[in-house]
Amino acid sequence: MPCSEYFPPPADSSRDGLVAVGGELSPERLLDAYQHGIFPWPGYPDDPMLWWSPDPRAILPLDGLRISRRLRRKLRSGVFQTTCDTAFDEVIHGCATAQNRLHNTWLTDEMVAAYCHMHTLGHAHSVEVWHQGALAGGTYGLGIGGFFAAESMFYRLRDASKVALAVLVAHLRARGFVLLDVQQWTAHTGRLGVVEIPRDAYLQTLADALPVNVTFGERLEGLNFA
């Protein structure tokens, strides 16, 4: 993998994975970061931007999502309707404000503005979950080649975020993506099938995924949850 234009190698990070401090959230810097296994995650809103590459790294294998029988029934029931890239701004604002996250989240105004701009450039994408015409949940992330970095998800109705994740995984598989990065493991994501792998293995998988010639597409595919 070629050296980054903006960042030191992840191997030079601190013990907790901090690679660099400061720098703007320009499209060029964001794309460079993700292509080198680095992502932005600020501390406090008024602090400089922090850039991370933790070891180990959390991924969701595209054949490893665990869907409960109850969730599978809900996916088949038609109670929710799903779309992609029709309400990106609403989804990221939902991720920043739902579940008491307003003013209590790493999704600062600067981050929201940067990813909305990435969406207009075709790099960032969203999955929307609707109920009776209202946005009930969703998820968003960044796609480069066969790599997708899932950034956050939210719900306003029970199971809407899990539906968004299941739909995203099915769509990425159908489109030919090979790596779904979720950055950090939690007990909740672990129950959904997220696993941790060494950073070196992650970086090699990332290098293999980036040249894959696939795109996110304009409509959802692969949504067969029989």
Closest of 92, 66, 49, 77 to residue 162, by C-alpha: 66
Query: Quick one: pLDDT at residue 188?
Result: 86
Helix, strand, or coil (residue 50): strand
Query: Quick one: pLDDT at residue 110?
Result: 92
HEC secondary structure over 52-78: ECCCCEEECCCCCCCCCHHHHHHHHHC
Contact in structure between 206 and 147 (CB atoms under 8 Å): yes
d(CA 160, CA 138): 7
Helix, strand, or coil (residue 117): helix
Closest of 68, 91, 206, 75 to residue 144, by C-alpha: 206
Domains of the chain (ranges, CATH numbers): 10-54 (3.30.70.3550), 58-209 (3.40.630.70)
Cβ-Cβ contacts under 8 Å for 7 (sequence gap 6 or more) = 19, 20, 32, 33, 36, 38, 51
Q: What is the DSSP string of 182-204?
A: EES--HHHHHHT-EEE-HHHHHH
**Residue whose tokens read 């609707």:** 130
Tokens of 166: 């299941």
Query: Quick one: pLDDT at residue 45?
Result: 66
Report CA torsion sign: 191, 115, 62, 15.
negative
CA distance readout (Å), 23 to 33, 86, 151: 11, 30, 19
Please give the chain's pLDDT, 226 residues, in tens: 789 999 999 999 998 999 999 999 999 999 999 999 999 998 766 788 999 999 999 999 999 999 999 999 999 999 999 999 999 999 999 999 886 655 556 788 899 999 999 999 999 999 999 999 999 999 999 999 999 999 999 999 999 999 999 999 999 999 999 999 999 888 888 999 999 999 999 999 999 999 999 999 999 999 999 8
Query: Quick one: pLDDT at residue 106?
Result: 77
Helix, strand, or coil (residue 39): strand
